[in-house]
């Protein structure tokens, strides 16, 4: 047993210090980025925000709207192949804005192979399990890279630099960063395992960029300012679940409780998800997700514009003309309070 004495930070622990800027308007900020990858044979251009691959937000309806803004969606691994066929037949031009999600078992691999045939050259892969430190996950990643040598592969989740490097060297182009930071994740309560998300992004991005790899910050963002902080900390992509939850494009029915409208939102390691997809919680494990009612938020369009507007504002405060410049222009300051909450109740 050992203890690391250095303090690790989360989004709530910092603010971004403003700097003199010659930018006159938010409209001058370019949020699009072009990426070349460590292994994949083609580049990608767009705004690097991804709807999470949980079944609530990783929907084809979400992909249709997000793609109009050049944002990405990681489609849930529980989407059927006939749903994929219908989506691509009707929206072939959107293939470059969706990830196919797969787990590490043989069934997931077979489904991945079948879906990839539908998407042809545009397929991007999200290899996703809760514990990216397991050897069988690394082995699955190597197998997928060998099978798809030219595809963009995102893999995770991890929170440390050495494992980020391991996944990149094993075939990942993008490493997904975050353990226990999601809004419907209770891994930290059940296991005591985790890492403050801001420090995880900084450390993993540093490790990845040294190898010409990329990282995706997954979890912990609750407001547009957190998304900006994630990019400022070095994230190349940011994945959002809770911030995209409760919209028309999300899975699930609208529920009315005490004259207020909600949608049900749950983690993929929750009892509800395992009852739905695995026949219940196995007796050798615990549920590491929760189920909540989130306010019904209508169409996703306004939320997208709010997030993008917030990031553009961040860039103007520090003089960054593009999203790519944001981390270079950022100085974080430690704080004890984020906002004045006198009228919050």
Q: What is the average pLDDT score of the chain? A: 93
Among 218, 205, 106, which Cα is nearest to 157's?
A: 218
pLDDT confidence of residue 266: 81
- Cα–Cα distances in angstroms (integers) from residue 244 to residues 7, 30, 259, 291, 341, in the given order: 30, 22, 22, 16, 24
pLDDT of residue 155 exceeding 80, the answer is yes
What is the H or E stretch that residue 182 is in?
Answer: none
Strand partners, 102: 127
Give the pLDDT confidence of 165-205 residue by residue, as tens digits: 999 999 999 999 999 998 888 888 889 999 999 999 999 99
CATH number of the domain at 11-21+36-334, out of 3.40.50.2300, 3.30.450.90, 3.20.20.70, 3.30.70.1350?
A: 3.20.20.70
Is-catalytic flag, 185?
yes
Alpha carbons 140 and 7: distance in angstroms, whole number? 34
Give the pLDDT confidence of 284-309 residue by residue, as tens digits: 777 777 888 999 999 999 999 999 99
pLDDT confidence of residue 3: 94
pLDDT confidence of residue 75: 97
The two structure tokens encoding residue 44: 């990608």
What are the residue ranges spanned by the domains of the chain?
11-21+36-334
Alpha carbons 30 and 27: distance in angstroms, whole number? 8
Q: Which residue in the list 116, 164, 185, 316 is annotated as catalytic?
A: 185
**Cβ atoms of 81 and 92 closer than 8 Å:** no
Alpha carbons 16 and 247: distance in angstroms, whole number? 30
**Cβ atoms of 238 and 230 closer than 8 Å:** yes
DSSP strand pairing (174-177 vs 214-218): parallel
pLDDT confidence of residue 185: 87
What is the H or E stretch that residue 71 is in?
Answer: none
Among 180, 198, 155, 147, which Cα is nearest to 11's?
A: 198
Give the pLDDT confidence of 111-142 residue by residue, as tens digits: 999 999 888 777 899 999 888 999 999 999 99
Q: For a pLDDT cut of 70, what percent of the chain falls above it?
A: 99
- Cα–Cα distances in angstroms (integers) from residue 125 to residues 171, 176, 250, 316, in the given order: 12, 12, 21, 34
Strand partners, 257: 260
The pLDDT confidence band at residue 345, using thresholds 50, 70 and 90, is: low
pTM: 0.95
Altogether, the residues listed in the chain come to a count of 345
Alpha carbons 24 and 69: distance in angstroms, whole number? 23
Q: Which residue in the list 57, 59, 101, 187 is annotated as catalytic?
A: 187
Give the residue with greater pLDDT, 278 vs 105: 105
pLDDT of residue 270 exceeding 70, the answer is yes
The C-alpha angle 182, 132, 288, rounded to 5 degrees, equals: 40
- The stretches of 15-149 forming alpha helices (DSSP H) are 60-68, 81-90, 106-119, 135-147
pLDDT of residue 1 exceeding 70, the answer is yes
Is-catalytic flag, 303?
no
Give the pLDDT confidence of 217-243 residue by residue, as tens digits: 999 999 999 999 999 999 999 999 999
Q: Is 91 exposed, middle or buried (0-12, 13-18, 19+ CB in 10 A)?
A: middle
pLDDT confidence of residue 50: 98
The pLDDT confidence band at residue 330, using thresholds 50, 70 and 90, is: very high
Among 126, 120, 130, 55, which Cα is nearest to 93's?
A: 120
Among 38, 59, 63, which Cα is nearest to 49's?
A: 63
pLDDT confidence of residue 307: 98
- Cα–Cα distances in angstroms (integers) from residue 277 to residues 271, 281, 284, in the given order: 10, 10, 17
At 272, is the secondary structure helix, strand, or coil? Answer: helix
What is the H or E stretch that residue 21 is in?
Answer: none
pLDDT confidence of residue 33: 97
């Amino acid at each position: 047993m050992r203890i690391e004495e250095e303090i690790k930070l989360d989004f709530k622990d910092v603010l971004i210090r403003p700097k003199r800027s010659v930018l006159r308007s938010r409209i001058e900020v370019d949020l699009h980025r072009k990426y070349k990858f460590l292994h994949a044979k083609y580049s990608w251009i767009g705004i690097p925000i991804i709807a999470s691959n949980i079944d609530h937000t990783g929907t084809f309806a979400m992909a249709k709207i997000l793609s109009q803004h050049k944002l990405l969606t990681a489609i849930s691994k529980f989407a059927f192949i006939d749903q994929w066929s219908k989506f691509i037949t009707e929206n072939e031009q959107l293939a470059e804005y969706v990830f196919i999600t797969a787990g590490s078992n043989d069934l997931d691999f077979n489904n991945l192979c079948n879906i990839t045939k539908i998407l042809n050259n545009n397929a991007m892969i999200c290899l996703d399990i809760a514990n990216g430190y397991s050897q069988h996950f690394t082995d699955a990643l190597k197998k997928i890279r060998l099978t798809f040598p030219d595809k963009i592969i995102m893999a995770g989740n991890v929170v440390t630099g050495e494992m980020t490097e391991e996944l990149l060297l094993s075939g990942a182009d993008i490493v997904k960063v975050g353990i226990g930071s999601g809004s419907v994740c209770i891994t930290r309560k059940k296991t005591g395992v985790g890492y403050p998300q801001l420090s995880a992004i900084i450390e993993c991005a540093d490790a990845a960029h040294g190898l010409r790899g990329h990282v995706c910050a997954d979890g912990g963002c609750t407001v547009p300012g957190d998304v900006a902080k994630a990019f400022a900390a070095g994230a190349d992509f940011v994945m959002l679940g809770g911030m995209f939850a409760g919209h028309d494009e999300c899975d699930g029915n609208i529920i009315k409780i005490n004259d207020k409208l909600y949608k049900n939102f749950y983690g993929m390691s929750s009892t509800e998800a395992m009852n739905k997809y695995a026949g219940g919680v196995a007796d050798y494990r615990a549920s590491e997700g929760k189920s909540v009612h989130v306010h019904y938020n209508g169409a996703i369009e306004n939320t997208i514009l709010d997030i993008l507007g917030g990031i553009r504002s961040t860039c103007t405060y520090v003089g960054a003309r593009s999203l790519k410049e944001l981390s270079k222009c950022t100085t974080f300051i430690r704080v004890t309070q984020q906002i004045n909450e006198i009228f919050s109740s």
